[in-house]
Amino acid sequence: MKTRVLTKLAMAISGAAMLCSTAMAEEPVRGGTLVTTLPQTPRHLNPAVQSGIVTGAPGAQLFAAPLRYDEDWTPQPYLAESWEWSDDGLSMTLKLVQDARFHDGEPITSEDVAFSVDTIKANHPFKTMFGVVETVETPDAHTAVLKLSQPHPALLLAMSSQLMPIIPKHIYGDGQDPKAHPRNGQDVVGSGPFKFVEFTADQQVILERNGDFFIEGRPYLDRIVYRIIKDASARAIGMENGELHMTTFENTVRNIKRMSENENLVATDEGYAAIGPINWLAFNTGSDGPLADKRVRQAIAYAVDKKFILDAIMLGLSQEAKTGIHPGSPLYYPDVNGYDLDLDKANALLDEAGYPADSSGTRFSLTIDHGNPTTKPQAEFTKASLAKIGIDVTVNSFVDFPTWANKISNHDFDMTWDTVFNWGDPVIGVHRTYDSQNIKEGVIWSNTQQYKNAEIDRIMGEAGQEIDPEKRAALYKEFQEILAEDLPVYWTNTLPYHTIYSNKVGNPPLGIWASSSPYDLVFLKE
């Protein structure tokens, strides 16, 4: 199977597609300083050795990746002008664009690609991304061949800015530990559309236009200032009074509502499908208690009204999530049981599971923990809902993350509300929750539910290696059907992530990677 992409044609089509889909007939203007936000201080700016959205956003401007994505999940050429699977799916050949240079003027070569893959593989927390890459061959300066031990379709999404920045070997290959390299946070030399100017913790990150960028005529902006503002209300006020042009990853629903009512601002939830944040109620299926029985888990799901969460807690700003794959993904399969409110069914299931109500109407008691303060309303709502079917719930709040994470990851819990991210391909962010091999004590966001199903393990193994998109989608359909029946977690909604931008901003980043995509097309109308 060949998916050879012809350079020029693809560039022209993708460029045109991007322009048409975002800002109709709007002519981009050169110049201006975009003022945007980061909700917390990044540890540093090198996404090769640090995951997360606050490193990913400036990181995507500083470093280019082989591929980029707009809103429809189709890979587009970026630093790689073409990419090609071998027939057996065991090697991926990248052809780099000619004349691309790092910010210090050194050429970007296949050596740098090989070095970047090695560095990411050794240091990035997501081991499943490049774990199967055995070597990267460099037959010439502009050709890199990734040799795999098994077919690995997740590679395509992994080759985007958030996960595979191309970093200069002549800077980061000097023998120092890449995770603690002094150039990760200061004097960063990258390959992307913007160059490093300043990074001051708790204040700002300032980037300026790379005049020597490998895409002619871009970027349009002169500067990007990321102001680090932790308080969500302060960011909202800054948007309303015009101090800020754009803010991303906003998830406090009242602030989003307020900003969306401002006539100079546009609020949208487009752009978060690849990052894919999903809220769910997790069950400790490995406990000795009633939660080991899937009928009990189903009963709980029937009793917790998803509509209330979507309409009253999320104010209609988030989407319903019926499975562990984000609804924005092409692999999402919505025709599974969504467990809409049905107290009769819930009671019947609990009777059937052998938990009759005692004289006071109580069947059994459970605890629910929540670490993230934003999930407190869900936790309280769950307690009230489950009282209706005779389950007595105690809510435990944990203000600080490590305490909560420690309890959950050591399987010392009954239920918890949690938010987990897809991170592009299911192999990276979805499998970890359901893989019986990934029940790891002390590791948060591993399979902390202790869910074991050989059938699910088999499907994930196959789907992870299936290159044919249709066969792959079929495998994930089965995967989602089985999980919706077993219900190791009860998925309710996506996080209400929104991008809010002033109507002065042209081509806001609404592709699947939101602010972790290059801003070379963003411009300011004046």
Partner 1 sequence: MGGTFYGVLMNILKVLAQRLSYALALLIAVLVLNFTMINLAPGDVVDTIAADMGGASAELMEQIHTEYGLDKPIIVQLGNYVWRVLQFDLGHSYFYNRPVTEMIFERLPATLLLVFSAQIFALILGILLGVFAAIRPNGILSHIVTLFALFGYAAPVFWTGILLLIAFSLNIPLFPVAGMRDVTIDGGFFPQALSVAHHLVLPMLSLGSIFIALYSRLCRASMLEVLGSDYIRTAKAKGLSPRDVTLKHGLKNALPPVVTLAGLQFSAVISGAVLVESVFSWPGLGQLALTSILARDTPTILGILFFSALVVIIGNLLTDLALRLIDPRIRKST
User: Cα separation of 338 and 320, whole Å?
Assistant: 9
Q: Nearer Cβ to partner 1, position 339 or 421?
A: 421
Report CA 513 to chain centroid distance, whole Å: 7
Question: Both tokens of residue 442?
Answer: 């002390």
User: Cα separation of 68 and 318, whole Å?
Assistant: 26
Token pair 């989608």: residue: 473
Least distance (Å) between residue 365 CB and partner 1: 23
Least distance (Å) between residue 268 CB and partner 1: 22
- Residue 268, number of CB atoms within 10 A of its CB: 13
Q: Nearer Cβ to partner 1, position 20 or 201?
A: 201
Q: Nearer Cβ to partner 1, position 101 or 223?
A: 223
User: Cα separation of 145 and 96, whole Å?
Assistant: 11
User: Any idea what DSSP says for residue 462?
Assistant: H
Least distance (Å) between residue 336 CB and partner 1: 25
Q: Nearer Cβ to partner 1, position 87 or 202?
A: 202
Least distance (Å) between residue 180 CB and partner 1: 5
Binding site for partner 1 (CB under 8 A): 33, 40-41, 43-44, 50-52, 125-127, 179-180, 198, 200-204, 206, 225, 227-231, 233-235, 237-238, 240-241, 243, 400-407, 409, 420-421, 423, 429, 432, 440, 442-446
Least distance (Å) between residue 249 CB and partner 1: 13
CB burial readout 450-475, b (16+ within 10 A) else e: bbbbeebbebbeebbbbbeeeebeeb
Least distance (Å) between residue 233 CB and partner 1: 5
Q: Nearer Cβ to partner 1, position 142 or 258?
A: 258
Q: Nearer Cβ to partner 1, position 229 or 459?
A: 229
For residues 314 and 496, the answer to whether their CB atoms sit within 8 Å is yes
For residues 341 and 305, the answer to whether their CB atoms sit within 8 Å is yes
Q: Nearer Cβ to partner 1, position 51 or 93?
A: 51
Question: Both tokens of residue 237?
Answer: 């006020």
User: Cα separation of 300 and 348, whole Å?
Assistant: 12
Least distance (Å) between residue 432 CB and partner 1: 7
Nearest to 94, CA basis, from 64, 139, 134: 139
CB burial readout 13-30, b (16+ within 10 A) else e: ebeeebbeebbeeeebee
